A and B are shown apart, each in its own frame.
Chain A
Amino acid sequence: MKRRIPTLILLCAGALLASAPASARAPYPDDPLASPMWQAHATTIFGDDPVRFDPRVKVAFPEIAENQRSFPVALDARGIGPVKRMVIFADLNPIPIAIDYRPKAAEPYIATRIKLDQRTPVRGAVQLADGQWLVSGGWVDAAGGGCSAPPVSRVKGDWAQHLGEMRGEAWPAPGANGGGGVSRLRITFRHPMDTGFVANIPTYNIEAMEVRSASGAVLGDMDIWASVSEDPAITLMPQARAGETLTVEGRDSNGRDYIARVPVSQQSPMPLAAAR
């Protein structure tokens, strides 16, 4: 079902251990962010596909990384053309890729929260239907510790009591791409999302999620890595009308399944959202 792209593991302590071979192919464009890991990540993620930097791909995040365990990132490629994949990654994270999303019947939009282990480029890469990748992003200054600090629920000891709790809501998204038929889905999970970089706590994370329509059609699916924050929160824009019920299904690395049903409400989002 999934074509999972290989994960590049770096050492949390900051040493860069790239497992990808140097590219023997045509060179990728020069990185405007001058990241030491650009070529390695490009090789892993893009392979032989054409790549260019394109500001129409919007990667939005706050001006400050207030919490390195939970840094919000939104990747928006609406209005560019049909998109088949969207990848959020942070070059210098020990687990660089956070999410690899395939919007099948959904607007090319995804927002989530990721961990930051040090000052790093945070990027969005979007693959158009013709195969070419468009990339954008920026440097984020972070003190670090996002991947090597234990999750809050592990410190509190209550993670198991809440594991698998899902909250969410969906609203019709007015004005999206001509209006009509598009929803905005917000879904959250309680999950420790252990990175494996904290002593005596092995990797344990939600690794896949998909959203289906009432008829069972897959509207979008994604691979998720442990660099997504504890208690993952994800926003998508699947095609669904008011009154329809979306099914959200996730699976973690221990094989546990998570399933939720989210009706698309009749009302439009409140004015705050509609205005934006």
Chain B
Amino acid sequence: MILSRRTMIGGLLASMPVVAMAANAEYKIAPVAVADGVWMIHGDDAPILPTNGGAIANIAIIATPAGTVLVDSGPSLRYGRALKTVAEQVTGKPVIRVYVTHLHPDHGMGIAAFDPAIVAALPQTIGDMQRDGRGFADAMYRILGDWMRGTELLLPGRRIEQASEDFGGRTLRLLPLSGHSAADLALLDESTGTLIAGDLLFHDRAPSTPTADLAKWRQSLDALKAVPHHGAIPGHGPFDPSGGAAIAQTRDWIDWLEASLTEAVKSGLDMVEAGNIDIPPRFAGMAAARYELQRSVSHLYPGLEAALLPRVDIQDR
């Protein structure tokens, strides 16, 4: 159903080596408690690879009096099913809500394991998933093969139009932001002050920019900073107990990225060279840094050249 056609959506994720995987490999899902009634599942801080089954995004599990709430659902039907089982074991309650933070498939394709009526996302995210979902699915099947078996493309059934949602007294504040993509949902668990930031935050793992608007991303980081909170669950990378380190690091990277690529354009570098510039030592601990830099060159360089190189054509001859 999904693999019938090779569609290319901006090349996102479409470039990894094809490796045949043994059928029925299992995901190892290990939630770690990060606050009272909040667990984080730490994804692999790597690109989407057959060796990790695409389980690279962090997932949050929240126990509420009304039932279990999940933030993001992983890359596949198999992941979503395993996640549901593990989450319900940890909390002792059925999953009653699944939030999708943004359109990227490592966060949202696991909703195939859930009833769309309990899956919620920002309206723009639902529209973007409708537009790009098939392309993402094709790329995921190509990279991950059997890991993706049976994963149907589903859309969230609930549009987030309210500022918070209450689950029997535990309230989650819903923050509609953007910048990593056209619509990025962040959540604040008001009872513990835990910020669940989706891919607006990367921590010790380089940010990815296939759908980024860096100016809006900065505004969203400012907005997250202004929300009183304790720890932060980033979209990728380890839990940030300080709540501020991941915000500062994500901002540092996108500022450096934009300044460096701007300088590269002004220096006359071509895209190959721009992808090979030195990465400062302060980012040495950041996973996938070169990989994401080269992806970002592909995403951002043509636009920077169009903005920075002067017009030189002669129209009236």
Contact = CB atoms under 8 A, between A and B. Distances in A.
Interface of A: 60-70, 72-74, 111-113, 119, 141-146, 149, 164-171, 184-188, 231, 233, 235, 248, 258-262, 269-274, 276
A186 to B, nearest CB: 5
Given A70-B302, A145-B6, A259-B313, A62 B268 contact: no
Contacts of B139: 143
Interface string B88-128: 00000000000000000000000000000000000000000
24 contacts: A60-B273, A60-B276, A61-B272, A62-B271, A63-B291, A65-B11, A66-B299, A67-B298, A68-B14, A111-B271, A141-B16, A149-B8, A165-B313, A167-B312, A169-B309, A171-B268, A188-B305, A233-B271, A259-B313, A260-B313, A261-B312, A269-B268, A273-B267, A276-B269
A220 B272 CA distance: 22
B173 interface: no
A166 to B, nearest CB: 4
A235 to B, nearest CB: 4
B306 interface: yes
Interface in B250-271: 260, 263-264, 266-271
A186 B309 contact: yes
Contacts, number: 153
A270 B312 contact: no
A167 B302 CA distance: 11
Contacts of B282: none
Nearest to B135: A145
Given A74-B273, A188-B305, A272-B267, A260 B314 contact: yes
Contacts of A271: 267
Interface in B262-295: 263-264, 266-273, 275-277, 290-291, 294-295
Interface residues of B, number: 46
A73 B11 CA distance: 17
B310 A72 contact: no
B294 to A, nearest CB: 4
A168 B309 contact: yes
Given A142-B15, A233-B302, A270 B267 contact: yes
Contact of A145 (B7, B290, B302, B309): B7
A35 to B, nearest CB: 17
Contacts of A112: 270
Contacts of B236: none
B302 A231 contact: yes
Contact of B273 (A64, A141, A185, A276): A276
A66 B268 contact: no
Given A70-B302, A167-B309, A141 B11 contact: no
A69 B309 contact: no
Contact of A144 (B8, B313, B314): B8
Given A65-B11, A69-B11, A166 B269 contact: no
Given A64-B291, A66-B299, A168 B11 contact: no
Please give me the 10 A-B residue pairs with the lowest Cβ-Cβ distance, nearest first.
Answer: A145-B8, A67-B11, A72-B271, A273-B267, A143-B14, A111-B270, A166-B313, A66-B298, A167-B309, A260-B312
B275 A62 contact: yes
A233 B14 contact: no
Contacts of B309: 167-169, 186, 188
Contacts of A184: 268
A186 B264 CA distance: 12
A267 B276 CA distance: 23
Interface of B: 6-8, 10-12, 14-18, 138-139, 142, 210, 260, 263-264, 266-273, 275-277, 290-291, 294-295, 297-299, 302, 305-306, 309-314, 317
A83 to B, nearest CB: 18
A72 B270 contact: yes
A143 B6 contact: yes
Nearest to A188: B305
A141 B17 contact: yes
Contacts of B268: 169-171, 184-186, 235, 269, 273
Tell me which of A67, A70, A143, A276 has the highest count of chain B C-beta atoms within 10 A of its own C-beta. A143
A166 B142 CA distance: 37
Nearest to B265: A186
A112 B270 CA distance: 8
Nearest to B11: A67
A72 B11 CA distance: 13
Given A235-B270, A270-B267, A62 B6 contact: no
Contacts of A167: 305-306, 309-312
A113 B8 contact: no
A141 B302 CA distance: 22
Contacts of B6: 143-145
Nearest to A257: B317
B263 A272 contact: yes
A269 to B, nearest CB: 4
Contacts of A111: 270-273
A273 B265 CA distance: 10
Contacts of A170: 268
Contacts of B260: 272
Nearest to A272: B267
Contacts of A149: 8
A66 B267 CA distance: 23
Given A165-B313, A188-B306, 10 more contacts: A62-B272, A64-B294, A72-B275, A72-B297, A73-B272, A119-B18, A142-B15, A167-B311, A186-B309, A231-B302
